[in-house]
Structure 1
């Protein structure tokens, strides 16, 4: 179900070891990937030191933007679940120095709770 969850916009947990290998050039010495979630083509990666948001761009997804956010710079976050008519769930993350929050949209709130719990685990 991981592939279908990703296509539908549901967050699906991705194997941390695979992401560790993929990001080996970006990670600091001793930094380890603890959890990773894919949402459509994008990734939210929780390491021992920071949150890495990976935005895959273009038709093939080969072009990528890596946004590195140290946990100490996350000021607050909110989780908005789905409703009867609003079928999108949102995770908003406010980062020190940025005027607008980072917004990640999920099609259902099935796994947004897992992502929010992981964010709490690393920031609190």
Structure 2
């Protein structure tokens, strides 16, 4: 599992879910749909209607991958912080039972309020 306390997913930008569908498609259960995807330099996350799937690409070749599933049913609280004048990154914090806080940082072009509304629809 990804160690979110000593690292996380930073500088994420919204990307088209279609190219990533091939990689995470086998992980999805019946009735689960990918809603939004975000990619960093190598790593990426996918928001589905059931969970967040965080993919950590490891090693020089990138063949080794860690897939961490964070179900919305385990979210206890969440927080969003919009980008500002000097702090150009928006942040999403999710608190999961038994995992703790998970932080994702997004580039300023990501509509963090829309993402907050998406999460609220599945958590509340």
Q: Same fold (TM over 0.5)?
A: yes
Match of 1:24 in 2: 25
Residues paired across the two proteins, number? 115
TM-score by length of 1: 0.71
Q: Name which of structure 1's ranges 39-48 and 61-70 shifts more when overlaid on structure 2.
A: 39-48
**What aligned pairs does 1:80-99 form with structure 2 within 5 A after superposition?**
80-99=81-100
- 5+ residue gaps in structure 1? 1-8
Question: Residue 87 of structure 2: SS of its match in structure 1?
Answer: coil
1:118 equivalent in alignment to 2:118: yes
**C-alpha RMSD over aligned residues:** 2.6
Measure, in 2, the Cα distance between the counterparts of 1:94 and 1:22: 26
Residue 104 of structure 1 pairs with residue 110 of structure 2: no
TM-score after normalising by structure 2: 0.71
More RCO (CA 8 Å, sep 6+) = 2
Q: Indicate if the aligned counterparts of 1:44 and 1:52 stay in contact, CA closer than 8 A.
A: yes
What pairs with 1:1-124 in structure 2 (closer than 5 Å)? 9-15=11-17, 17-99=18-100, 101-108=101-108, 110-124=110-124
In 2, Cα distance between the equivalents of 1:68 and 1:26?
A: 9
SS where residue 11 of structure 1 aligns? strand
Contact 2:14–2:110 (CA<8 Å) still a contact in 1?
A: no
Partner of 1:3: none
Name structure 2 gaps, 5 residues minimum: 1-10
Q: Does structure 2 conserve the Cα–Cα contact (< 8 Å) formed by 1:10 and 1:111? A: no
Partners of 1:87 and 1:98 in 2: CA distance: 27
Q: Is the 8 A contact 1:77 1:93 kept in 2?
A: yes
